[in-house]
Amino acid sequence: MKLSLRSLLIYFIVTLAVLTLPACTKPAEDALKRLTRAGQSLTPDDFVKAAGQGDVELVGLFLQAGMDRNAQDARSYTALIQASENGRKEVVRALLQEGVKTDLQTTDGNTAVIAAAGNDQFECVRLLIEANADVNLKNGKNWTALMKAVYQGHQKTTDVMLRTSRDALQKEDQLARALMVASLLGHNEIARSLLDAGAPVNKPIEKKQTALMFAASTGKKDMTQLLLARGADPSMVNADGSTASIIALQKGHTDIAKLIDTAAATATASSNRAAALSASAVAPKPAPPATANPSTSPALTVAAAPAAPPELLGSTTPKTAPTTNEQDAAAARMEQAWLREKKVDPQSLLAVDTGQDSDGDGWTDAEEIAYGTDPHDPNSHPPLYTKLRMVKLDAQPFPVLFDGVEGKKASISIQHGQMSEPYVLAVGARIPGESWKIAAIRPRKSVDKSGTTIDVSELTLVNAESGEKLVLIKSMQANSPGGTAVLSLEGMDREVQVKEKQQFSLAPNDPDRYTVLDIRPTQVVLKVNGTGEVITVSMRQPATATKR
């Protein structure tokens, strides 16, 4: 029988399909059989588990058997995420060659690069970044890969990310935020790497906090020294009007506050010397004096060497070469003008103060220079409040502790010595044995620097007799109202006892009057009535003036 050309063509195609079909299906079938023999089932859970164990051959069999390379297991992990977290770099490399998606996220928002960075799997991090993984993605707690690495103290991973992704990290302010975390936790070498990579040392974030403030708040001395050496500005204030030094004092880190004040004073002196040297470059060169003036103070001698420019002396051309005394006076005026313009903290020079008091008015030359007063005139000196110190706190713990919110009621404990008595009370209820009643219950949550949610609920109490209000924070011990603090004028043998809202003066001839705004465990906050200036008087530390 003769076949037509068309029939022969159809026969050839069908025969070829039948012959090649087993060849196409055989690898998948073989892979599935091998998986079965190995005790594996073709499921995402087994696939992801094999990747996490680093079994490259088994992962290859899953893919040959038809497993979706981007499949997620019951925990929403992909094979790439699991392998990256466990540091299985060979599996990561194989999966990337298969074209898996690098930026898939778990239900918690973690990507492969975040998972690897959190476990310091820096080689996997490098492979993922080379495959264009997005280093700026955040998980559910707003942590990026870099932030996780820094938080955990993973130096190698941090260095890899800085070498490979510095520009991308800078664009999203990640370097600045990572520096905050390193400063808070005292990861010195990581902070040094971040600074070397261009992390801005003075860039503020939420509430205008800086890296130096975080280091000061946790008493990290080495970190504080590193940041100051890299140009951290100790004069910057946060949203509450506090400098890093004040924050350190509030947390009880007096050594850190002293360190910051020393740096501030040194920077001030250096700036003054630089300004004087710059000015002297355009001034007529004075004739050298025959002898040095023995009355010149050490603090002024350093700054007084350069001649002052004529415009600062009120003359365009000096008629005669200035004497050493004239140079000293001009340099002092330059320092005063610069400090006033920059609003330098008057106590910042105390750390390098030589103690010399040329006019005997009770303020050292360094203190007077800082305030812009004349260190050689006993009638010219800073305000009295610069001598204030807090020496004693006389306050009793409030006997009620707020334990938390239960439904619409407040759980409290009334302290009786070493014993406590629990109660659950609603708004309007009176606290047993006390003159206080519950005015309001406010449930509140906050998130700390590590991303942990904390309970900061508030309980407002009202005194049924006086109408006074008191707000308690969950689990925080409060002081009873009516506490007092003792303030002392250093070197003047005078003390004054103050309480909240009280107005007082420091001496009969003191033109200023003050109002007590707040009494805290380690400081008293005052307001200068005439100017509105707010003064923070710290325990055993100089008063620090801040504008609020």
Q: What is the CATH number of the domain that holds 144?
A: 1.25.40.20
pLDDT of residue 188: 94
Whether 110 and 153 map to the same domain: the answer is yes
Whether 444 and 500 map to the same domain: the answer is no
Whether 467 and 504 map to the same domain: the answer is no
Whether 469 and 487 map to the same domain: the answer is no
Whether 450 and 356 map to the same domain: the answer is no
Rounded percentage of the chain residues whose pLDDT exceeds 70: 74
Whether 469 and 507 map to the same domain: the answer is no
What digits encode the pLDDT tens for the residues 491-509?
777 788 888 788 888 877 7
Whether 366 and 492 map to the same domain: the answer is no
Q: Which residue has the tokens 């140079």?
A: 327
**Between 294 and 45, where is the model more confident?**
45
Question: 432, 451, 473 — which closes off a domain?
Answer: 473
Q: For residues 101 and 95, what is the distance between their CA atoms, to the nearest angstrom?
A: 9
Question: 185, 217, 249 — which closes off a domain?
Answer: 217
What digits encode the pLDDT tens for the residues 454-494?
788 899 999 988 888 888 888 877 777 777 888 888 777 77
Give pairs for 360-364: CB < 8 Å, separation 24+: 362/387, 362/491, 362/492
What digits encode the pLDDT tens for the residues 313-359?
233 333 344 454 554 455 444 444 544 444 444 334 333 445 677 88
Radius of gyration of the chain (CA): 35
Q: Which residue has the tokens 């087993």?
A: 22
Q: For residues 213 and 246, what is the distance between their CA atoms, to the nearest angstrom?
A: 9
* Residue-range definition of the domain harbouring residue 213: 44-217
Do 81 and 107 form a contact (C-beta atoms < 8 A)? no
Whether 131 and 211 map to the same domain: the answer is yes
Least confident of 24-33, 214-223, 256-265, 532-541: 532-541
Q: For residues 110 and 118, what is the distance between their CA atoms, to the nearest angstrom?
A: 10
For residue 449, tell me if it sits in a domain.
yes
Query: In this structure, what token pair is assigned to residue 358?
Result: 């040329």
pLDDT band at 202 (very low <50, low <70, confident <90, very high): very high
Do 212 and 230 form a contact (C-beta atoms < 8 A)? no
What digits encode the pLDDT tens for the residues 155-189?
999 999 999 888 888 777 889 999 999 998 899 99
**What is the average pLDDT across 358-371?**
73
Whether 463 and 506 map to the same domain: the answer is no
Kindly report the average pLDDT of the chain as a whole number: 77
Q: For residues 118 and 145, what is the distance between their CA atoms, to the nearest angstrom?
A: 7
Tell me the angle at which helices 174-185 and 155-171 cross, rounded to the nearest 10 degrees.
Answer: 140
Do 163 and 133 form a contact (C-beta atoms < 8 A)? no
**Between 308 and 406, where is the model more confident?**
406
For residue 3, tell me if it sits in a domain.
no
Whether 73 and 151 map to the same domain: the answer is yes
For residue 372, tell me if it sits in a domain.
yes
Least confident of 13-17, 70-74, 490-494: 13-17
Do 245 and 233 form a contact (C-beta atoms < 8 A)? no
For residue 244, tell me if it sits in a domain.
no
pLDDT band at 75 (very low <50, low <70, confident <90, very high): very high
For residue 11, tell me if it sits in a domain.
no
For residue 413, tell me if it sits in a domain.
yes
At 196, which amino acid appears?
D
Looking at the whole model, is its pTM more than 0.85? Answer: no
Whether 69 and 115 map to the same domain: the answer is yes
For residue 286, tell me if it sits in a domain.
yes
**What is the average pLDDT across 61-74?**
94
Let me know if 362 is exposed, middle or buried by CB neighbors in 10 A (0-12, 13-18, 19+): middle
Pairing of strands 453-455, 458-463: unpaired
Q: For residues 161 and 133, what is the distance between their CA atoms, to the nearest angstrom?
A: 11
For residue 253, tell me if it sits in a domain.
no
Query: In this structure, what token pair is assigned to residue 430?
Result: 């009176």
**Between 547 and 478, where is the model more confident?**
478
Whether 54 and 147 map to the same domain: the answer is yes
For residue 546, the Cα-to-chain-centroid distance in whole angstroms is 20
Q: How many domains does the chain have?
A: 4
